[in-house]
Structure 1
């Protein structure tokens, strides 16, 4: 446990001073070292903006993978640990299958996520592709689990990489009420806290657990309402231990 949270501390500092030297140009290309520009947005909760995390080609590729199998998004029931419908989450989405995760471009993205988050690839859940259309949103929530059922496969969720695959929507910001003391926009409203505007290729890395190993209640966040257009995103949740893929829809 101390080891994994030591890695998380290293990741936060490492993203500020720069990712270490890599052995070859191929590795540097996978990690997009010439393009990605990290910026710490908040220390509590820990939130890092990664500009140009995905290429335009990668964004379109993930959208194409997701589109044919989109279904209504669901949430985890805190009592049973099962996926259920919710009026508070109105997007549509899908998880990449184990076969789709073998695609070279997907593997490069997953390795990049692992390096920048400093969490092993095998600790990551399958990428989820999400689409928010006009008037759709996801109400305030935590990414960590409040039930014990989901701990059995990989333990608690410790960090989230949220990647934006489009930027032609109005609204749709990712809003952290505890992420700052200033004012920001959320679905056309002025609110207090911190919000991140969806920009194609950018990503937001944030931690749901603190260095002490306790769930960080300051990590509460929401997907603000889309006012017009369509917002596409991809999310990777990372666990304490290796996660064994199961087929599901949430």
Structure 2
């Protein structure tokens, strides 16, 4: 009996040690993965189990990483703004019948898309890779980054990012997720607003409304999903850009598709 107990105890000890070593290995792997992509954002915060994720500011922790060196000075926000400024045009929305962009009163910002050649630049490649790590969506499934500027009194009424037409589904399928990056500080208003997220109240362009909003802070980003795990479009992903009360709100948007866009 005593001999059997010793054997059982030995096996339990072996399994326990194995589990501890396995957990330590996983933590080490995750830490190295984050370091290797030069992330500024050490953690994710989930809002009330709604599936909307904000990536808050953090302290960089990069060591001997080429891609991280490119982003280390934190100039990626200014870089995107400077690249976009000469080519800004009045923003459009997708026509549900033709799938083409048309001007609309529901969206009053100005913006542009980076070109395929600009996507090859080291700074853009580093940003794209960091987005891929956080979203867990391959880089090749992403659309070209769009940079937007909202001036005083400008806004984007609540809308969905997934397509309601068949034209845009031909290349890459449906939009799965959106990474929205804030590129400027000192903005009053201009929150990203999710009217169907949660049951509380929030600020939106100086007004108190139901839902959840995220204030624009330079270097922060918001990741949210337009499709559920069942492959169906999620109407709860409804969101909008609140009216800017003062300052200029700059943002960059990366849409991810079901399959490769190239």
Q: Shorter-chain TM-score: what band?
A: 0.7 to 0.9
**In the aligned structure 1, how far is the partner of 2:99 from the partner of 2:252?**
22
1:193-218 deviation line (CA, Å, top 9, x unaligned): 00000000000000000010000000
| Counterpart position of 1:163 | 181
Q: Is 2:56 the counterpart of 1:38?
A: no
1:141-200 deviation line (CA, Å, top 9, x unaligned): 000000111000000000000000012111000000011111100000000100000000
What is the number of equivalent residue pairs in this alignment?
223
4+ runs deviating over 4 angstroms: none
Give SS of 2:158's match.
Answer: strand
**In the aligned structure 1, how far is the partner of 2:212 from the partner of 2:233?**
20
Among 136, 156, 168, the residue aligned to 1:138: 156
**Would you tell me which structure has more strand in proportion to its own residues?**
1
- Which residues in structure 2 correspond to 1:237-248 (within 5 Å)? 237-244=255-262
Residues 180 and 19 of structure 1: CA distance in aligned 2, closer, same or farther (over 3 Å):
farther
- Which residues in structure 2 correspond to 1:15-54 (within 5 Å)? 20-22=30-32, 28=35, 30-32=37-39, 35-44=41-50, 46-52=51-57
RMSD across aligned C-alpha pairs, in angstroms?
A: 1.8
Residues 210 and 79 of structure 1: CA distance in aligned 2, closer, same or farther (over 3 Å):
same
TM-score of the two chains, using structure 2 as the length reference: 0.81
**Would you tell me which structure has more helix in proportion to its own residues?**
2
| Counterpart position of 1:99 | 117
5+ long unaligned stretches in structure 2: 1-26, 59-70
**In the aligned structure 2, how far is the partner of 1:18 from the partner of 1:183?**
39
Q: How many angstroms does 1:56 deviate by?
A: 3.4
5+ long unaligned stretches in structure 1: 1-16, 245-250
Higher-Rg structure is: 2
**In the aligned structure 2, how far is the partner of 1:140 from the partner of 1:77?**
16
- Which residues in structure 2 correspond to 1:75-154 (within 5 Å)? 75-154=93-172
